Amino acid sequence: MAAMSVAGTAMQVVGTLQQGAAAKDAGKAQQKALNYSAKLKDIEAKHKDIKAGQERAVSQRKAIEETKRKELIESSFIARNALAGGGSFDPNSVDTLSDIESEGRYRVLAALYEGENSARTYEYGAQVDRAQADADRYAGEVAYQQGKAAKKRATTMAIAQGFLGMAQAAYLGRGMMTPKTTAMGGGGAATTASATRIGGGGAAPVYM
């Protein structure tokens, strides 16, 4: 029975250690997956930052083009008005030039606003990606630490199981070897390992 107890304890200890190792491996695998996800999000955030800069550059070029277009329209109007004999300071000319200026300024600002709005949208997306990447890395670290803790608990439990199993085996071994004393009539007492045969005038130890 002691041998069976030792074997059972050994199997239990091995099983506990395997569970601990599996928990640590699972935590490490989860951390690796989350770190990879975080890396992809960081890359996406960088692409969005680049895109935001490109949107601003495009809008600035559009604004420059609109400014040149406004100036060209103003120059053309002044030239045509001069050929027609009109003055640059008569009320109609002043109103027309004011309208051209207002329209040109609006187009310039619209181009800049469009680019800035688009750029900020990309930048916000980049911030979200980075926040998610940080969250993934944190979750990965938590999973890894939980796996390590689970393995440590399993190791501690396995050690305790081993000591308990050895103690039980030792107890069973002592129990099998403990002698029994039987009181006899007439001639005295005989100590036996397992059984006692009683004769007429005394007792004789018999070992089974």
Residues 77 and 173 in one domain: yes
Please tell me the predicted confidence (pLDDT) of residue 161.
Answer: 73
| DSSP bridge partners of 137 | none
User: Mean pLDDT over residues 116-138, rounded?
Assistant: 95
Residues 116 and 187 in one domain: no
pLDDT-based confidence at 37, cuts 50/70/90? very high
Token couple for 162: 């081993």
Please tell me the predicted confidence (pLDDT) of residue 63.
Answer: 95
Please tell me the predicted confidence (pLDDT) of residue 95.
Answer: 86
How far is the C-alpha of 203 from the C-alpha of 208, rounded, in Å? 15
Q: Is pTM, for the whole model, over 0.95?
A: no
CB 169 within 8 A of CB 6: yes
Residue 60 has pLDDT above 90, yes or no: yes
- Angle, helices 2-83 vs 91-177, to 10°: value is 180
Please tell me the predicted confidence (pLDDT) of residue 2.
Answer: 52
Please tell me the predicted confidence (pLDDT) of residue 103.
Answer: 93
Residue 176 has pLDDT above 50, yes or no: yes
Alpha carbon of residue 144 to chain centroid: 8
Residues 166 and 207 in one domain: no
Residues 154 and 187 in one domain: no
Q: Which amino acid is at 112?
A: L
Residues 185 and 137 in one domain: no
pLDDT-based confidence at 110, cuts 50/70/90? very high
Per-residue DSSP letter, 200? S
The residue among 6 and 41 whose pLDDT is bigger is 41
Residues 95 and 112 in one domain: yes
CB 78 within 8 A of CB 88: yes
Residues 104 and 144 in one domain: yes
Positions of E strands within the chain: 180-183, 189-192, 195-198, 203-206
* Boundaries of domain holding 116: 2-177
Residues 116 and 41 in one domain: yes
How far is the C-alpha of 115 from the C-alpha of 206, rounded, in Å? 107
Please tell me the predicted confidence (pLDDT) of residue 193.
Answer: 43
